[in-house]
Chain A
């Protein structure tokens, strides 16, 4: 009846979620996932966006982030140095959207009992896929012959030069972590023979283990760099290792640019001391040595190994999950054991 409808009270207003009700997360520089999913984070956390402030970073942190317990960072943007950590007295968690940790002062975190969460295995498959894709591209000249066809040269200049067979080749994996293992598993299906070098021998695989990377190179046709960047691995792949790999050898880097001595790599490629390279990372991204642009036996990628819609969504869910777990005092989803 109309009178009943008139006396029905209106629904109560929804409580406004004030940003100060949400837990604070300090972010110095937007991680790449923010280009696609920032709102998913903003709904759940009060993001302190240092990059949006006109204040210099140190001032912003001192004035606005002293009670922030959690930080979200990535491989891009300022390093999470001891200086920065010291300006965040309440910091108990650093969550990075990368697998790599080379941008974080791990010693300072350990000393202050700050937990670290990273991308875990969220994109190990995508990175491994890119490593294999780059390797097949170099061996079979995929990008080079695609260029050839698109320039109309197949009809005028004839067949493209032959590539090299992948089956039976000896693959040396540098760093047999989550990514290195996924690479190995894939290449076994192509009939490749896997060996590796790692900080420690791994019991769960039967691949031959080499204690030093030069010996691995001497016994391999391909080197795939899958390790993290640390003081020990910086410039680990130098001229000596590349000469050991040899004139037919191919190197693929999906780790960090600085693991390879870039000037020496370029020299070896230009002089024909190694057979080719597939590179997703460089020492001074986005700068790439222009000598490489002249070479058809090199395939270049713009640090995109984790840049798939699937990985970004998984990463987003993982980071939100880690932050939620942290704030509800539950175990982190992808903690890093900081030994």
Chain B
């Protein structure tokens, strides 16, 4: 197994890195002073690529690795992988579905509560000594608010299940209406935004869903509406989001993802109706370990000619 070359694109998990190092000939792309050169040097032995939400096998990389057989992503989202190219060349692709669904859904609710009840802002209020001067102001109740979900897949359903425990009515937008659900369907995102108070992005990022939350949607969500993004940064038109928040056309936002991570628009830093997280949707010790084992399991299955655990392509 040591002769199998595996290219890891960016640091993502120490345990995964150590295990890959033990089992394969691991090439760490981020340590290379000249990346194209590094890839050229080792192209003949690289048979697998390990990426994540931040970096994937795009067309250029796939072309540069003639012996590439499998791309195993340490994420459920595969928007950074050129899936068409992989299909074309017979390259397998795996991701980490299901194991992170609960953590991401938990965080979505955590963001809703943090924004509506101003948890981060009032924690700052206490730490700065302001409480000695007077009570914090009134915030907004979460229970009973209508939650609109863009994308009713695994994560969207998990968010709905949790929000229901807070007596939140649920509605959604999806490419097609789901026949097996009781939640109210809206055939467009603008209509969904007009009819909910909290809008959650929970769909995959594709060409069709780029900027699915645009100025029109944000205006429809309105000055009392809150946007929660636990999908991908490019789902939301970020400059429009900033101006909607700064101008008060949008009531608030809870963001875990951004268009150019780790850059976050600085105009948001001074806003109390915004909660900013550094892409931690699946960021628990427990889940990252399970995700890592899934990546390792998929690679092992592939090189032993066994069925892949969680194949996408």
Contact = CB atoms under 8 A, between A and B. Distances in A.
Nearest to B271: A150
A302 B117 CA distance: 12
Interface stretch (A6-14, A106-114, A184-192): A184-192
Contacts of A34: none
A307 interface: yes
A310 B280 CA distance: 31
Max chain B Cβ within 10 angstroms of own Cβ: one of A146, A165, A293, A299? A146
Nearest to A287: B132
B278 A133 contact: no
Contact of B278 (A130, A139, A148): A148
A189 B161 CA distance: 7
A149 B276 contact: yes
Interface string B99-120: 0001100110111011001011
B141 interface: yes
A186 B165 contact: yes
Nearest to B160: A189
A142 B143 contact: no
Instruction: Summarize A's interface: helix, strand, loop or mixed.
Output: helix
Contacts of B127: 293, 300
B29 interface: no
B264 interface: yes
Interface stretch (A62-70, A78-86, A155-163, A173-181): A155-163
Contacts of B287: 165
Contact of A308 (B111, B139, B269, B285): B139
Nearest to A36: B138
B215 interface: no
A133 B112 CA distance: 9
B278 A154 contact: yes
A190 B143 contact: no
Nearest to B109: A136
A129 B166 CA distance: 8
Contact of A133 (B113, B125, B161, B263): B113
B135 A304 contact: yes
Given A137-B114, A143-B114, A190 B120 contact: no
Interface of B: 102-103, 106-107, 109-111, 113-114, 117, 119-120, 122-127, 131-132, 135-144, 161-162, 164-167, 261-264, 266, 269, 275-280, 283-288
Interface of A: 32, 36, 125-126, 128-130, 132-134, 136-137, 139-143, 145-150, 152, 154-155, 159-160, 162-167, 185-186, 188-191, 285-288, 293, 299-304, 307-312
The 4 closest A-B pairs by CB, nearest first: A133-B113, A189-B165, A136-B110, A310-B141
